[in-house]
Structure formats: C-alpha cells, structure tokens
Amino acid sequence: MIVSAIQMVSATDLQTNLRAARELLAEASGQGAELAVLPEYFCLMGHKDTDKLRVAEQPGGGPIQDFLSQCASDFKLWIAGGTLPLATDAQASVQTRAFNSMLVYNPGGTCVARYDKVHLFRFSHGQESYDEARVLQPGRQTVTFDLQSVDGNSYRVGLSICYDLRFPELYRAMKADVLLVPSAFTAVTGQAHWEVLLRARAIENLAYVMAPAQGGVHENARRTWGHSMIIDPWGQLLGQRDQEGAGVVMAEVVKARLDANRARLPALDHAVAVTSPRRAGA
C-alpha cells in the first residue's frame, strides 16, 4: 500500500490552507498514494488560541469537512484530515471550547472515523509558551479503523495527534498495524525528541508510523519542526522531508514486512499485565 505523509506551513487564512492542502493531496495521489495524511492544524495556524474557535464546525458538516470529503472522492484517496476544530456544544452559537479532531474519509468521501486529541500540549520555553487546554477539550478514547487496501490486505490504522506521542500506553492499547501521528511540534521540542519518539513508537508496537508535520515559519511567527517521516515496524526510516516547507513524503506499507517483524520478535504477545508497585515494608 502506497502512503503519503504531507508537510505544510499553514497560514492564518482558512481558504489559503485548503487550496494548499488540495495541491499536496493531488501530488500524493499522482504518485500513487492510497492513504494520505495531513498535519495537525492543516486548516489554520491562527494568531491566537481562540482563532480555532472562529472556524470550529459542528460534526457532520462545514467547509473543512466538505473539503476533506470532496478531496477523498475526487482523488479516490483515504484521507486523514490532520486536525480541525469541532464544536463541543451543538446548541451554542458561539463556541468557547472545541475538540482538536482528526477525521478520516474513505475514497467515496464518507467519514469513517473521528479521533479527538486526548493529551493537550503545554510547554514553556523563554518567550515561547503554549497551553492547548485554554480553548480545547480533550477526548477520552482511542480510535482505530480498518482500511481494506487494493493490495488485498486489511490494515488496522490507529489515530493519534502530536503530543499524544509522549504517551506510549495509548499506542499499545490500539493494537494497530499503522499508526498516524499528524503533528505541529515546536522547533525546540522537535529537534530534541521528534524522531526518537516516533521510532520508539514504531519499535514498541512493531507497526508502521506515519508522521506528517507542520514545518517552517508561520505567519503567526511560530516555528514548527517539520521533518515529516514514515517509519517501518523495525524503526527504520522509509522516507523523510529533511527541509522546511510544504511537500509530500511517500513510502510503501508492506503487510509481509509487518508480519515478518512480528513473527521474529513476538513482543506484542509477551506483554504482561502488572499491578501497581507495593511499597517496601508495607
């Protein structure tokens, strides 16, 4: 199965970002991709946290959701829509909070999965400070979906977003063959931890990892790390964008490679449930 991780440098204007995303999805489709994954916040990197609320959509319809559905149908792609803000209150005319959600569309344009980001990012480094909990509401459950590939195999695909990457228990719980990690890592945390965390999740779960990212200097002056990559179940890099700027990373997911790695190192079958540690002397 040919897959694509898409890197963007999203702007503060929704329509500008949707046009850029469509061009990149077309490029991925033209190179034979069956599954394409957009980065976190592909639709908007605002000047302030509350800008997300301005474009938040009710689940089931809206310009961003319609865009993803149309692209999936037009390009005959499975598309994982990075993230977009979804309303938490169906009755409110003005949203005060939103979910940071990844929606997955099949080649017919139907939404088949939704994952709301569970772990909300908080980070402070000099003049750089983030706290997603100011406007976002966390999700509460893991999500997977089954992708029936044209190669004749079915793949269980697990959904996660950015900061989730630091919580390995989330990934083990999904028991997935392919793990998606659309992200917008900061330049500081990305340079320090991005690749090693991604390779660790691939190795621990003996799974493919697709990690599309924001990468470059944005209109809001934020700098994201980029280095979008795809990793195999043995932790080997299959493809990486080693520069800033928009682009696509292509690779092949091979069921035989997945099965071979899990057969020679059956660590997933060796997991043991452990109890909480007992305090010495108790």
Write the CATH number of the domain with boundaries 2-269: 3.60.110.10
Dihedral class, residue 139 (left if φ above 0, else alpha if ψ from -120 to 50, else beta): beta
pLDDT for res 127:
72
pLDDT for res 282:
58
* Residue 52 designated active-site: no
pLDDT for res 95:
81
pLDDT for res 277:
79
Confidence (pTM): 0.95
Q: Which of the following is catalytic: 34, 40, 57, 132?
A: 40
Mean pLDDT, the chain cut into blocks of 10 residues (282 residues total): 98 98 98 98 95 95 98 98 93 84 98 98 80 94 98 98 98 98 96 98 98 97 96 98 97 98 95 81 62
Q: Which of the following is catalytic: 52, 57, 162, 244?
A: 162
pLDDT for res 94:
74
* Residue 162 designated active-site: yes
pLDDT for res 131:
87
Q: Which of the following is catalytic: 43, 71, 117, 244?
A: 117
Domain limits of the chain?
2-269
Count the Cβ atoms, other than its own, within 10 Å of residue 88.
Answer: 17
* Residue 76 designated active-site: no
